[in-house]
Amino acid sequence: MIIQRLQPLLYRVVLRLLAILLFASSQAVLAATPQEALETALGNWVAGQSGVTADQVKMAPLDPRVQVQPCGGSLSFDYPFVNKESVRARCNKPAWQIFVKVGLTQQQLQEMVVANRDIAPGQALKDTDLDIKTVAVPAAGSFNEKSALVGRQLKRPLAKGQPVMAHDLEKGQKAVRAKFALKAGDLMTESAIERIDLAPGAGGSSPVWIPTEITPGTRLGKNVAAGQIIQTTDLAENRQVVVASSNLNVGQVLKPELLKLERLDAEKINRTHLFDLSGLEGSELMRPIRAGEAIRTSDLRPALMVKKGDLVTFVIGRPTEFMITVKVEALQDGRLNEQIKLRNPESGHTFSGVITGKGAAKGV
C-alpha cells in the first residue's frame, strides 16, 4: 500500500527534474558564447564610430589558438593604430585584451530630395530650393527626383537639409497661365499672367513656372499661346555668375567681399563659369581680372598656404579620439590639399603631410 502511494509522488518528482534539465539546456543553447558576445559588442562599437550599420562591419576570424574568456566586467574598445584596421578589445575583470582586424562593406546608396535652405509654408517649390542627397535608407514617403516637386506648395516649414515628404505638400499645385498670346523675347509682367491652382501632374511633364515674384528682366524664350500654362522651359535662361567687385591681381586670394553675383545671358554662359560665392575661399587668381568681369574655374588655383621654411602646425588623429599636435618645418611650398615634405626640427625626421589651411597640415 505504501509503495503504491509513493509511485505517483516519484513520478511527479522525476517529471519536475526532467523539466528543469530541459530548461537549463535550452538556456545554454540560447546563451551567447564569450566570442559571440565580444563580436556583437565590437560590431556595434565600430558601427557607432563609423556611422554605418552593424551589418556593414566585417571582422576577420580570430586565430584558432586564441580562446576568448568570459568577461565578468565591462568590455571597452579603441583603435590602437592610425589606419583603424584593427580594434583593441579589453576586459577589466579578468584583465585581458584581444586585437581584431575589422573592415566595412559598402552599402548601396540611394537618392533623396532635401531642402537646400529653410523654406516657409505656402511657398511653391523651385528647382533651386532642392538638393539631391545620397543616403543608405531614404525616409518613407520621400522623393528621389526634384522634378516631381517643382511647383508643389508646402503645408509646413522645412529646415535646410530636411527631406521633402509627401505629407508636407498641399494636394493642389500652383501654376501661372498667360492671359494673352506672348512672343519669345517678351518681358514677363504681372499684367501678362494669372496665377491658378492645378491638380498635381496637370501642368505637363516639364516643371511649371511658379514665381513668387517676377525677377525684373525675365523674358520668354518661346512663343506662348493665350491660356497656356507656362513651364520653366518656356523662359529664356538668365542665370547669375560670379564676377569681380573690383580690379583683382594675379595671386590675389579670393574673399567674399571681392566678389558678387551678376546676371549673364544664357548664350554667354558655359560650364567654366562659377555660379556660387561659397566655396571660393582658399583659391587665388592665375590672371588679372577687371571689375565686373566673370571669373571662371580656369582662372583659379588653390592658394599658397605654406612656404618653404615656415613652421607648420602638424596634427595627427581626431579630436573625438586622440590628437597629437607638433610644430614642424615645411621643406616645400604647399597649397591647400597638397601633399608636401615636412621635417621635425627636434629629431630631424622627415615625412609627408597634407596642407589643410594657413600654416597647418595633417597626416597622410
Q: Are 260 and 243 in contact (CB under 8 A)?
A: yes
Name the strand (E) or helix (H) holding 34: helix 34-50
Q: Could you tell me where the beta strands, DSSP code E, fall in 136-237? A: 152-154, 169-178, 193-198
- Per DSSP, 28 falls in state H
Specify the residue for cell string 565591462.
Answer: 74
Specify the residue for cell string 538668365.
Answer: 238
Question: In percent, how much of the chain has pLDDT > 70?
Answer: 84
Pairing of strands 339-343, 238-244: unpaired
User: pTM of the full predicted structure?
Assistant: 0.33
Beta-sheet strand order (sheet of 86-92): 57-59, 95-104, 86-92, 75-78
pLDDT band at 12 (very low <50, low <70, confident <90, very high): low
Cell of 156: 509646413
**Residue among 34, 119, 117 nearest 72 (CA):** 34
pLDDT band at 25 (very low <50, low <70, confident <90, very high): very low
**Residue among 299, 267, 300, 266 nearest 282 (CA):** 300
Specify the residue for cell string 576568448.
Answer: 68
Q: What pLDDT, on a 0 to 100 scale, did the predictor assign at position 108?
A: 66
Q: Are 169 and 155 in contact (CB under 8 A)?
A: yes
Cell of 279: 566655396
Amino acid type, 50: S
Q: What pLDDT, on a 0 to 100 scale, did the predictor assign at position 27?
A: 41
Specify the residue for cell string 591647400.
Answer: 336
Distance CA(161)–CA(130), nearest Å, equals 9
CB atoms within 10 A of CB 63: 8
Omega within 30 of 0 (cis) for the link into 94? yes
Report whether pLDDT(16) > 80: no
146-168 burial: b if 16+ Cβ within 10 Å, else e: bebbbbbbbeeebeeeebbeeeb
The per-residue pLDDT for range 301-315, each reduced to its tens digit, is 888 889 999 999 999
Distance CA(157)–CA(165), nearest Å, equals 12
The full set of domains in the chain, from first to last, is 34-104 (no CATH), 110-234 (3.90.1210.10), 238-302 (3.90.1210.10), 304-363 (2.30.30.760)
The per-residue pLDDT for range 232-241, each reduced to its tens digit, is 788 877 667 8
The per-residue pLDDT for range 174-192, each reduced to its tens digit, is 778 899 999 987 878 888 8
Q: Are 35 and 62 in contact (CB under 8 A)?
A: yes
Distance CA(243)–CA(28), nearest Å, equals 73
Question: In percent, how much of the chain has pLDDT > 90?
Answer: 30
